[in-house]
Structure 1
């Protein structure tokens, strides 16, 4: 079958990009005709490896500078599109030029499956893509985190899709309530591999990873870890990722006297190695979709300490079995949970083994058949409907 995945910036970093690339690679390995369509391009090379059979197409190449109008103003930044609402987290990308490029592309398609991967792209597909194409909207974030303006557009237009896919059971219930009559399907993201080196619980290291943005809550993790080092000064926290909050987090490290205990590690392409050498994974997010780096940490038999934020951690973890869930935003509870695991290596080993078992649900061999079956079913229904209409 022919499958097109549309990403805002397939050349960037981020959880959605990584999981969509993993999905495209798996579908190509199964023999399907797979293309990734990147709305914009701002880097020379993709950050994640593509299967040799996956085609990569760009709609708006922004590497070589920005075309200016007669007054020298940057056109693609000056003019906003009309479909993508304010409140969409990436609304700033969708200038008139970029939005038009997406509309022109999706309206030109006449076959196969089109998978769009964020609300902006979903809304354009719902309103402008041909009904000849099977349209699937992927939602990588829970509905409640979106502003009211965006939720209203989702409710208004998502009924046009053949299916809306979500990551967790709680997401499924929320979207079904908001979109009565729409087909809402839960399919979790897959990790790239469950065959990972397990932690041996030999190094006094806590790892956290993600974009250095408010959502990820590293500003809450740091004061929690300041409490940890008072009891366990030999332990270290390593935070992997880049983002606009880097300077603020550096200042917070200094404020809490953590310069010898916490390191902002930046971006790495060897996160699996770092996870295997750690002993605990900490998730301090204010909200999540499905926290894939947390699940990847679980494949390394790492116990998890996490805020029970909406959504994700509580949909994956069983509190006290494969990790510890604490009230969202409760810094003292986060510190206490970390101290509890740090003080008990046997507990970390038991929870880590349980975490590795839980992570098997997210193995590619378990997740990818769900996608293949969904696409086949939707294409089959479209073909049968077309044949019936021609009689």
Structure 2
């Protein structure tokens, strides 16, 4: 089968990581796969790609890296020509802006189109009004729309009426994590409580730092390490300094080896106000990291089986997060139990082979519906 995957860029990010995982798996099993970043010029991919994946940068195909309406229209025409020349059996598109362009570019062409939301679009605050209106107008023209969590499907169907098919498909667990060794719980310190994500308000790392500051005197052998980069770095560093916790809280930046970084910890916390499908929680649990997560929309409740496989606390409740972290940090038996149970559950439910089978069902559905 010939698959064309469209994604905004191949920089570091959750959508890009999933795109790389999928195209690599499809190519390795024998599909003819083209990956096209649509909004960035030629460069290197943050995540490794199989040499069996054809990489085609839209900016290079269009011959322009300029911005503005004329350049955008030229890229749209180039995208349409690219789809026509590639002659895919199916087109898969990630992210709202790319989805809108893909719908416009494929009108009248034979290739069925699956557009994929990579956040929870019903609570996302970063998508502008223009894109929201275009999404509402154009998504009903796609052959299929996917979201990442069951909790998102109903509200999104009401937000964007008229969608032909709406499917829920989770992110796959990358294959190397299926048999990776589980993290070891230490009898003594120093130990690390880990968090990971872009340093932006939605991740609520400022709240996490305040909660940790309340616990730090009680747990002198536990340090907090927050991996990631973003516009809140200066504010978070100032907060840490104000609390006098520079020796206990570190913000080492972005890592190109997130699984290795996670494997160095003894517990994980997700403090987000909103998520689409938090890959980092999935990966932390797969490595056996006992986890605490806000029950934010959406993903953590489904991923933890309603809190069976991690400590799930009401979204935004600072006191509940503090109490859950206290339970986890003081109880090694609980950490060991949660870590093992969580790893077994997510490795089974989100294995790459299982998610690929779900994708195959989507491909069959949209191809069967086209004349």
State TM-score, norm by structure 1.
Answer: 0.85
Question: What are the residue-to-residue correspondences of 1:118-133 with 2, within 5 Å?
Answer: 118-131=95-108, 132-133=110-111
Classify 1:103/1:285 alpha carbon distance in 2 versus 1 (closer, same or farther; 3 Å). Answer: farther
- Three-state SS of the structure 1 residue aligned to 2:39 is strand
Q: Distance in 2 between matches of 1:126 and 1:277?
A: 43
In the other structure, the counterpart of 1:315 is 302
2:147 to 162, 166, 173: 166
Residue 379 (structure 1) aligned with residue 347 (structure 2): no
State TM-score, norm by structure 2.
Answer: 0.90
Q: CA deviation at 1:288?
A: 0.5
Q: CA deviation at 1:372?
A: 2.0
In the other structure, the counterpart of 1:223 is 210
Contact in 2 for aligned 1:212/1:246 (Cα 8 Å): yes
Classify 1:205/1:108 alpha carbon distance in 2 versus 1 (closer, same or farther; 3 Å). Answer: closer
Spell out, residue by residue over 1:54-110, the C-alpha distance to the aligned partner (whole angstroms, 9 max, x if none): 01111225xx9x97xxxxxxx52xx3x4xxxxxxxxxxxxxx414531343135523
- Three-state SS of the structure 2 residue aligned to 1:230 is coil
Deviates more, 1:101-110 or 1:164-173: 101-110
Residue 290 (structure 1) aligned with residue 267 (structure 2): no
Count of residues in Structure 1 that have an aligned counterpart in Structure 2: 356
Residue 38 (structure 1) aligned with residue 37 (structure 2): yes
Question: What are the residue-to-residue correspondences of 1:1-391 with 2, within 5 Å?
Answer: 1-10=1-10, 12-41=11-40, 44-60=43-59, 76=67, 79=68, 81=69, 96-106=70-80, 108-110=82-84, 111-112=87-88, 113-131=90-108, 132-144=110-122, 145=124, 146=127, 149-178=130-159, 179-193=161-175, 194-202=178-186, 204-360=191-347, 361-382=349-370, 385=371
Q: CA deviation at 1:334?
A: 1.4
Deviates more, 1:348-357 or 1:173-182: 173-182
- Three-state SS of the structure 2 residue aligned to 1:37 is strand
Q: Distance in 1 between matches of 2:240 and 2:100?
A: 41
- Three-state SS of the structure 1 residue aligned to 2:38 is strand
Superposed CA RMSD: 2.2
Q: Distance in 2 between matches of 1:264 and 1:238?
A: 6
- Three-state SS of the structure 2 residue aligned to 1:4 is strand
Q: Distance in 2 between matches of 1:181 and 1:4?
A: 22
Q: CA deviation at 1:169?
A: 0.5
Deviates more, 1:355-364 or 1:322-331: 322-331
Q: Distance in 2 between matches of 1:315 and 1:176?
A: 19
Q: CA deviation at 1:43?
A: 6.9
Deviates more, 1:115-124 or 1:268-277: 268-277
Contact in 2 for aligned 1:143/1:174 (Cα 8 Å): no
- Three-state SS of the structure 2 residue aligned to 1:52 is coil
- Three-state SS of the structure 2 residue aligned to 1:314 is helix
Deviates more, 1:227-236 or 1:372-381: 372-381
Any unmatched runs of 5+ in structure 1? 68-74, 82-95, 386-391
Contact in 2 for aligned 1:176/1:182 (Cα 8 Å): no
Spell out, residue by residue over 1:191-219, the C-alpha distance to the aligned partner (whole angstroms, 9 max, x if none): 21322220121162111111111121111
Contact in 2 for aligned 1:108/1:130 (Cα 8 Å): no
